[in-house]
Amino acid sequence: MAATDVDVFSNEEKRSLSLGGHVGFDSLPDQLVSKSVTQGFCFNILCVGETGIGKSTLMNTLFNTTFENEEASHYQNGVYLRPRTYDLQESNVHLKLTIVDTVGFGDQINKEESYKPIVDYIDTQFENYLQEELKIKRSLFNYHDTRIHICLYFIAPTGHSLKSLDLVTMKKLDSKVNIIPIIAKADTISKSELHKFKIKIMSELVSNGVQIYQFPTDDDAVAEINSSMNAHLPFAVVGSVEEVKVGNKTVRARQYPWGVVQVENESHCDFVKLREMLIRVNMEDLREQTHARHYELYRRCKLEEMGFKDTDPDSQPFSLQETYEAKRKEFLGDLQRKEEEMRQMFVNKVKETEAELKEKERELHDKFEQLKRMHQDEKRKVEEKRKDLEEEINAFNTRKVAAETLSLSQPLKKDKDRKN
Amino acid sequence: MTTNTRYKNRPVKAEDGEEKEYVGFATLPNQVHRKSVKKGFDFTLMVAGESGLGKSTLVNSLFLTDLHKDRKLLNAEERIHQTVEITKHTVDIEEKGVKLKLTIVDTPGFGDAVNNTECWKPITDYIDQQFEQYFRDESGLNRKNIQDNRVHCCLYFIPPFGHGLRPVDVEFMKALQDKVNVVPLISKADCLTPTEIRKMKDRVREEIEKFGIKVYQFPDCDSDEDEEFKQQDRELKESTPFAVIGSNTVVEARGQRVRGRLYPWGIVEVENQSHCDFVKLRNMLIRTHMHDLKDITCDVHYENYRAQCIQQMTSKLTQDNRVESPIPILQLSTPDVETEKLIKMKDEELRRMQEMLQKMQQQMHEQDL
């Protein structure tokens, strides 16, 4: 092909042609599938809900296995996220499943900051992926994608409406992750109450502009089932890993004195619907949405923040490299300036402390001189006192001697007097 | 008092073996009964807990009336910054000639906001206000028609969705334990299987002990009661906190019309003892311990409040030297802190003087020698 053809190529209209025979590129999807199967799949679920609402039990029920989990306590100081990765296999398909739990959510008395750790976690996963993408030597196909594909938001079955914390958190999350709200522990709501509750929740979400995940209706194969499922949101689920004998079968259920709630019975709860939608039909779509919508939004915001633009004021496409170089120079210049400042500060501080130390030394010296002088004064005084004391003692002794001699001569005198 | 009134009046044998004399004060209980029926009773019950836990439904089930006809429930976004309100509903109900003036104090908004720091303050303030009002009325000159609005019992609803008590539950109960009888309940118990209920009750009891929360304790029954009563009493105490279910609807179950909740998998009967502890709660609250709750409120909580109040007032008076209070203050017989200190100082000085005198005397003595 000549060089000129290459330039015109992009503007040319594509013509569709009909084939004369079977070429064979209809096997492309199969090749893709076999490649994905060998690579293995990866899926990340984030479970947000109060402590004890049934997140771990539902995960166990969904994947029909027991992920090790200790009960969380209600007395955490804040919310923190606990990601756990498991390797599952079904037929010949490998799944690397990561379940992220929110520990301590909804337990604090002041819940204003509760959504922050969750948002930060999601952003961090996006950031890691972005970093990997921007690397010079990158290996995206090998990269363990930790971005959250789905957020299951567990709503407490109060029967009235959403809680204020739920509304605030979902609003913060709806632009970052696919949210599917579910009503947890649904065996405490009767059918009529459930209907009203679902309508109330959906109307509250709509009126507050919260965008939850809608099952895709553009693919013909699944459009019908997806659109009917959309009408059943939020799903009212019951989870259980215990098996109960009902009739002549053993099913997963919860046994009450008044009856048995079967998890997989569609008239009891929407668990089967959730499993269909989440795992069997739309898992791949969830991953795509995460990458194509949420991740792209994050990437765009992040790069705009850093100062990158797609077109500069002259409408010429900016090259990423040039912008990058310019940014780098600016950044290095900033660093140098900061270093200079810090050095100056350091030098100043050293001077100040030196001056202070000198002052203190002088003071100490003065004090020492003063003390010495005082000491000498004291010594002199003590000397004088000693001298006085000695004189007194001498005087006393002489008086004593005089008194004794007097007393000796006294009786003589008396004798003399008597004699006289 | 208790043992004596339960004994039937033993006939008094006269010294010389004459016919037994029947005095007749065995009719005192009947007189008390008559008078009290004439006077009527009153009871104030407070319900507290997050919204959506079934408080209103339970109150309706307990008293078999519909107290909250036109309630407006707030949306989630209105509740983000909600403050706690106190609402009162008073109804007069009558049964077999006994009149009861029942006041239900509701606390909408408790625990609903995003930031719930000190959300129990309006509640404690309300209780203190009622105590203060009663205090003033009691010390007034005309005490004929005192309205007793003091809260006799507070039912606290613990959500069953967690693993036990949450920090807000602990803080609330601790703030109220000295002001009112707190009875914790596990609400919406139809979401827990029997094993889970037992675990939850044990957990809650453990945590109540761990945090030192003083909840309402049933009084011990007397040693001369029969075994059956004692057994019942023991069972009652072991099943606290009660796991309750309430219902506004009547359903058909086992051929009868009962209050219950209809599910696709079964019918929960509110008054079925194997389904929940509603019957135990009702018996305890209304049929057996209502008066005990009132007594403890009067004798313990109110007296504590009164003593505190008086102490505060008198210490303030001696500081300000102003005699301006609606209540006549008796002269304090105990010396207060200031004069005691002075006395102590003077004693010290005296002792020191004495010691110096002694020393000087000794010195002079030595000098004389």
Q: Is the pLDDT of residue B17 over 50?
A: no
* pLDDT, tens digit (0-9, with 9 covering 90-100), for A245-259: 888 888 888 888 888
Quote the tokens at residue A8. 């015109």
Please tell me which residue of chain A has the smallest CA distance to B74. A161
Average pLDDT of B193-207? 90
Q: For the residues of A22-38, what is the DSSP string, one character each?
A: --SGGGHHHHHHHHHHH
pLDDT at A19: 80
Average pLDDT of A360-371? 94
The domain segmentation of chain B, as residue ranges, is 35-65+80-317
CA-CA distance, B264 to A257, in Å (whole number)? 14
pLDDT at A4: 46
Quote the percentage of chain B above a pLDDT of 90: 3
pLDDT at B70: 54
Q: Is the pLDDT of residue B278 over 80?
A: yes
CA-CA distance, A100 to B107, in Å (whole number)? 36
Q: Is the pLDDT of residue A192 over 70?
A: yes
Nearest CA-CA distance, residue B73 and chain A, Å: 8
Q: Given pLDDT bands bounded at 50, 70 and 90, which one contains residue B8?
A: very low
* pLDDT, tens digit (0-9, with 9 covering 90-100), for A90-105: 888 888 889 998 888 8
pLDDT at A10: 56
SS3 letters across B69-103 = CCCCCCCCCCCCCCCCCCEEEEEEEEECCEEEEEE
pLDDT at A320: 66
pLDDT at A3: 44
pLDDT at B16: 45
| Whether A204 and B76 lie within 8 Å, measured CB to CB | yes
Angle subtended at Cα B111 by Cα B105 and Cα B113, rounded to the nearest 5 degrees: 120
Q: Given pLDDT bands bounded at 50, 70 and 90, which one contains residue B221?
A: low
Q: From residue A299, how far is each of A117, A167, B244 by CA, in Å?
A: 20, 26, 51
Note the maximum CA span of chain B: 117
Quote the tokens at residue A221. 């194969």
| Whether A267 and B264 lie within 8 Å, measured CB to CB | yes
* pLDDT, tens digit (0-9, with 9 covering 90-100), for A260-288: 888 888 888 889 888 888 887 778 888 88
Query: Which of B263, B267, B272, B367 is the best residue to mutate to test the A interface, defined by the most A CB atoms within 10 Å of its own CB?
Result: B263
Q: Is the pLDDT of residue A378 over 50?
A: yes
SS3 letters across A156-191 = CCCCCCCCHHHHHHHHHHCCCCCEEEEECCHHHCCH
pLDDT at B223: 67
pLDDT at B294: 86
CA-CA distance, A399 to A407, in Å (whole number)? 12
Q: Given pLDDT bands bounded at 50, 70 and 90, which one contains residue A120?
A: very high
Let me know: does A71 contact B199? Beta carbons within 8 Å: no
Angle subtended at Cα A48 by Cα A46 and Cα A50, rounded to the nearest 5 degrees: 150
Q: For the residues of B262-287, what is the DSSP string, one character each?
A: EETTEEEETT-TTT-SHHHHHIIIII
Q: How many CB atoms lie within 10 A of CB B269?
A: 23
Is A76 an 8 Å CB contact of chain B? no
Homologous superfamily of the B35-65+80-317 domain (CATH): P-loop containing nucleotide triphosphate hydrolases (3.40.50.300)
CA-CA distance, B81 to A168, in Å (whole number)? 11
The whole model's pTM is what?
Answer: 0.73
pLDDT at B39: 80
pLDDT at A420: 54
Identify the CA nearest to A323 among candidates A303, A338, A341, A343: A303
Q: Is the pLDDT of residue A193 over 70?
A: yes
Interface of A with B in 165-204 (CB under 8 A): 165-168, 184-185, 187-188, 190-191, 204
Average pLDDT of A5-25? 71
pLDDT at B149: 83
Mean of per-residue pLDDT scores for chain B: 80
Query: Which of B118, B120, B165, B166 is the best residue to mutate to test the A interface, defined by the most A CB atoms within 10 Å of its own CB?
Result: B166
* Nearest CB to A74; choose among B73, B82, B165: B165
- Chain A residues with CB under 8 Å of B113 CB are 164
Q: Given pLDDT bands bounded at 50, 70 and 90, which one contains residue A374?
A: very high
Residue B160, phi then psi, degrees to nearest 5? -85, 0
Average pLDDT of A7-36? 77
* pLDDT, tens digit (0-9, with 9 covering 90-100), for A200-235: 999 999 998 988 888 888 777 778 888 888 888 889
Q: From residue A32, how far is each of A93, A221, B117 by CA, in Å?
A: 14, 19, 56
Let me know: does A130 contact A139? Beta carbons within 8 Å: no
| Whether B161 and A267 lie within 8 Å, measured CB to CB | no
Q: Is the pLDDT of residue B369 over 80?
A: no
* pLDDT, tens digit (0-9, with 9 covering 90-100), for B160-178: 888 888 888 898 888 888 8
Q: Is the pLDDT of residue A74 over 70?
A: yes
* Nearest CB to A168; choose among B114, B160, B263: B114
CA B105 to chain centre: 14
Q: Given pLDDT bands bounded at 50, 70 and 90, which one contains residue B1?
A: very low
- Chain A residues with CB under 8 Å of B112 CB are 163-164
Q: Is the pLDDT of residue A318 over 60?
A: no
pLDDT at A375: 93
Q: Is the pLDDT of residue B72 over 80?
A: no
Q: Given pLDDT bands bounded at 50, 70 and 90, which one contains residue A338?
A: very high
Average pLDDT of A391-416? 82
